[in-house]
């Protein structure tokens, strides 16, 4: 059988125009445009062509055709911020504000639970949930990243992992230097794995001191790695930074050399005009996590203003412990609606801009926009096919608007990562992986009992 596959959906949302459109093909598309009666040709792990369907069949007569009537083909979604392993802590700290949530529930539980088995099982649950919802790439921040990498590779997902740095000891590392050493050693071991990447991930300005932050700034420049950190999530965080350091968190990070095009500022909820200008002028990116921010009552990020200033904004779910649902399409809908509601402008964050945040802008923040995030010849074939033929979605006037405002993750039917068809008609393609998902779901009973014992004080 030919290794060339021709995907023929009803609609294609390229997000960006082809760099080198084939002779006779359409000369690119604007953001928000949709191609009808076109095809994507996949050879190996890459997109070989994007051209009219009839021409594709003529040029690639030996290709295996995957007909997708009623489907929208889009770039794979990129979750710009999560803590995958925390799927095992889903619901244990609900209805608490951030600092009580951390200090009374999350950190005490993590101190007794976290190890490679916990991370492997939690990450497998979370990544499976995300993959079934069209997420092809995830930016993860957690302890024991090697275990999360194992789970991502099992599912065939693309993943970026934080070289986490925090001042206090854990089961994973003893101090900031130990975290850095272990994370960088893992990066060296995984450098030949094409689906795995790394960020430098200081947890937050309030948990990491000046010396480690300066070292991280230097390493980011030397190694060409993004910096992924929580910042300006709550008003209390900003207040404490001013009291302790005499400056706001972003000001402090800038003074230490961390605010630049490599920065991914996670949450970025409480920003004044100076903060916004600092992000815009430096070329930094933001990971917008609307559901987590709402659930923890942290606030609403000024996403519409960020867009006006040209700040690159991607969307993240955060972890299951602060969100409960790792549904990036739902996050995207909420992000668009909140931008309109907060700004008082119904034109803020239109559907096409929101799709870009889900795909190309998130990829850009990770330094992966030359490989993923849009449907362009030469890029990796990370793709998602969403079925718009369901009764609850009829009729379809604008497929991208439907994707953002009407679709749920249950409408995702097919997912490809690097050309590999990993989800086929809402089922994992690999029977062995399906079995392992069944086994990890069964093991959650053990984790549930262990967590219950800790919370009751009997462990």
- Distance (Å, whole) CA 251 – CA 259: 9
135 DSSP β-pair partners: 77
Statement to judge: residues 54 and 102 lie in one domain: no
41 DSSP β-pair partners: 6, 49
- Examine the pLDDT at 409 and tell me if it is beyond 50: yes
Statement to judge: residues 124 and 246 lie in one domain: yes
Statement to judge: residues 64 and 41 lie in one domain: yes
Q: Does some domain include residue 436? A: no
3-state secondary structure of 78: strand
The length of the chain in residues reads 459
- Distance (Å, whole) CA 359 – CA 20: 20
Q: Does some domain include residue 196? A: yes
- Distance (Å, whole) CA 213 – CA 258: 7
Statement to judge: residues 335 and 219 lie in one domain: yes
Statement to judge: residues 297 and 322 lie in one domain: yes
Strand stretches in 276-357, DSSP E: 285-288, 312-315
pLDDT at 229: 98
Q: What are the residues whose beta carbons fall under 8 Å from the beta carbon of 307, sequence distance 6 or more?
A: 313, 339, 348, 349, 353
pLDDT at 19: 42
Cα-to-chain-centroid distance, residue 31: 21
Q: Does some domain include residue 153? A: yes
Q: Does some domain include residue 105? A: yes
- Examine the pLDDT at 26 and tell me if it is beyond 80: no
pLDDT at 16: 78
What's the pLDDT tens digit per position in 270-299? 999 999 999 999 999 999 999 999 999 999
Q: What is the domain extent for residue 419?
A: 4-75+383-424
What's the whole-number mean pLDDT along residues 179-206? Answer: 98
The pLDDT mean for the chain works out to 95
What's the whole-number mean pLDDT along residues 340-364? Answer: 97
**Strand pairing category for 77-82 and 158-165:** unpaired
Statement to judge: residues 306 and 404 lie in one domain: no
Statement to judge: residues 173 and 25 lie in one domain: no
How many domains does the structure of the chain reveal? 2
Q: Does some domain include residue 127? A: yes
Q: Does some domain include residue 451? A: no
What's the pLDDT tens digit per position in 77-127? 999 999 999 999 999 989 988 888 888 899 899 999 999 999 999 999 999
Statement to judge: residues 419 and 294 lie in one domain: no
- Examine the pLDDT at 459 and tell me if it is beyond 70: no
- Examine the pLDDT at 18 and tell me if it is beyond 60: no
- Distance (Å, whole) CA 9 – CA 106: 44
Statement to judge: residues 166 and 281 lie in one domain: yes
- Examine the pLDDT at 23 and tell me if it is beyond 50: no
Query: Secondary structure of 390-421 in the HEC alphabet?
Result: CHHHCCCCCHHHHHHHHCCHHHEEEEEECCEE
The DSSP code for 338 is: H
Q: Cβ distance 25 to 51 under 8 Å?
A: yes
Q: What are the residues whose beta carbons fall under 8 Å from the beta carbon of 52, sequence distance 6 or more?
A: 25, 26, 37, 38, 39
Q: Does some domain include residue 132? A: yes
Scanning the structure block, which residue is given the tokens 């921010």? 293
Closest CA to 297 of 232, 233, 203, 207: 233
Statement to judge: residues 71 and 82 lie in one domain: no
Strand stretches in 32-97, DSSP E: 35-36, 38-43, 46-52, 64-75, 77-82
- Examine the pLDDT at 2 and tell me if it is beyond 90: no
Q: How many CB atoms lie within 10 A of CB 399?
A: 24
Q: Cβ distance 4 to 63 under 8 Å?
A: yes
Q: Does some domain include residue 445? A: no
CATH number assigned to the domain comprising residue 196: 3.20.20.140
- Examine the pLDDT at 25 and tell me if it is beyond 80: no
Retrieve residue 307's tokens. Answer: 């867009």
- Distance (Å, whole) CA 68 – CA 406: 19
Q: What are phi and psi of 114, to 5 degrees?
A: -75, 125
pLDDT band at 457 (very low <50, low <70, confident <90, very high): confident
Q: How many CB atoms lie within 10 A of CB 189?
A: 12
- Distance (Å, whole) CA 31 – CA 23: 22
Cα-to-chain-centroid distance, residue 307: 19
pLDDT at 21: 41
Q: What are phi and psi of 289, to 5 degrees?
A: -125, 75
Retrieve residue 379's tokens. Answer: 């890029």
Statement to judge: residues 235 and 96 lie in one domain: yes
Q: Cβ distance 435 to 429 under 8 Å?
A: no
**Helix %, strand %, coil % for the chain, to 5?**
45, 20, 35
The DSSP code for 327 is: -
CATH number assigned to the domain comprising residue 409: 2.30.40.10
Statement to judge: residues 198 and 277 lie in one domain: yes
What's the pLDDT tens digit per position in 357-390? 999 999 999 999 999 999 999 999 999 999 999 9
pLDDT at 411: 98
pLDDT at 17: 52
pLDDT band at 440 (very low <50, low <70, confident <90, very high): very high
pLDDT at 101: 87
- Examine the pLDDT at 20 and tell me if it is beyond 70: no
Q: Cβ distance 85 to 41 under 8 Å?
A: no
- Distance (Å, whole) CA 24 – CA 1: 28
pLDDT at 22: 40
């Amino acid at each position: 059988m030919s290794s060339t596959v021709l995907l023929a959906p009803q609609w294609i949302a390229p997000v960006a125009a082809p760099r080198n459109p084939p002779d006779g093909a359409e000369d690119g598309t604007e953001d928000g445009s949709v191609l009808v009666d076109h095809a994507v040709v996949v050879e190996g792990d890459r997109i070989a062509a994007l051209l009219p369907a009839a021409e594709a069949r003529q040029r690639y007569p030996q290709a295996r055709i995957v007909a997708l009537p009623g489907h929208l083909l889009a770039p794979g979604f990129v979750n710009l911020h999560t803590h995958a392993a925390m799927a095992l802590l889903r619901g244990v700290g609900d209805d608490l504000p951030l600092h009580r949530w951390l200090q009374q529930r999350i950190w005490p539980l993590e101190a007794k639970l976290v190890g490679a088995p916990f991370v492997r099982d939690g990450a497998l649950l979370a990544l499976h949930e995300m993959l079934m919802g069209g997420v092809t790439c995830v930016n993860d921040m957690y302890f024991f990243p090697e275990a999360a990498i194992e789970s991502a590779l099992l599912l065939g997902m693309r993943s970026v992992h934080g070289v986490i740095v925090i001042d206090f000891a854990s089961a994973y590392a003893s101090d900031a230097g130990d975290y850095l050493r272990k994370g960088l050693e893992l990066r060296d071991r995984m450098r030949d794995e094409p689906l795995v990447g790394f960020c430098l991930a200081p947890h937050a300005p309030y948990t990491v001191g000046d010396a480690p932050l300066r070292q991280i700034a230097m390493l980011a420049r030397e190694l060409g790695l993004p910096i992924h950190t929580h910042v300006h999530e709550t008003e209390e965080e900003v207040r404490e930074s001013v009291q302790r350091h005499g400056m706001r968190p972003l000001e402090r990070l800038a003074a230490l050399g961390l605010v630049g095009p490599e920065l991914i500022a996670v949450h970025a909820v409480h920003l004044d005009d100076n903060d916004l200008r600092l992000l815009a002028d430096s070329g930094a990116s933001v990971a917008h996590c609307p559901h987590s921010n709402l659930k923890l009552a942290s606030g609403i990020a000024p996403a519409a203003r960020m867009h006006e200033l040209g700040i690159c904004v991607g969307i993240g779910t955060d972890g299951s412990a602060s969100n409960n649902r790792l549904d990036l399409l739902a996050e995207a809908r909420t992000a668009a609606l909140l931008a309109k509601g907060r700004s008082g402008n119904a034109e803020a964050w239109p559907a096409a801009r929101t799709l870009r945040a889900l795909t190309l802008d998130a990829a850009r923040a990770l330094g992966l926009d030359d490989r993923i995030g849009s449907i362009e010849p030469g890029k990796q074939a990370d793709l998602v096919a969403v079925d718009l033929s369901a009764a609850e979605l009829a009729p379809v006037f604008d497929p991208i608007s439907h994707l953002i405002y009407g679709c749920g993750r249950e409408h995702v039917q097919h997912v490809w990562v690097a050309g590999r068809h990993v989800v086929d008609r809402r089922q994992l393609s690999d029977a062995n992986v399906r079995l392992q998902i069944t086994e990890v779901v069964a093991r959650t009973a053990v984790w549930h009992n262990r967590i219950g014992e800790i919370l009751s004080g009997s462990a």
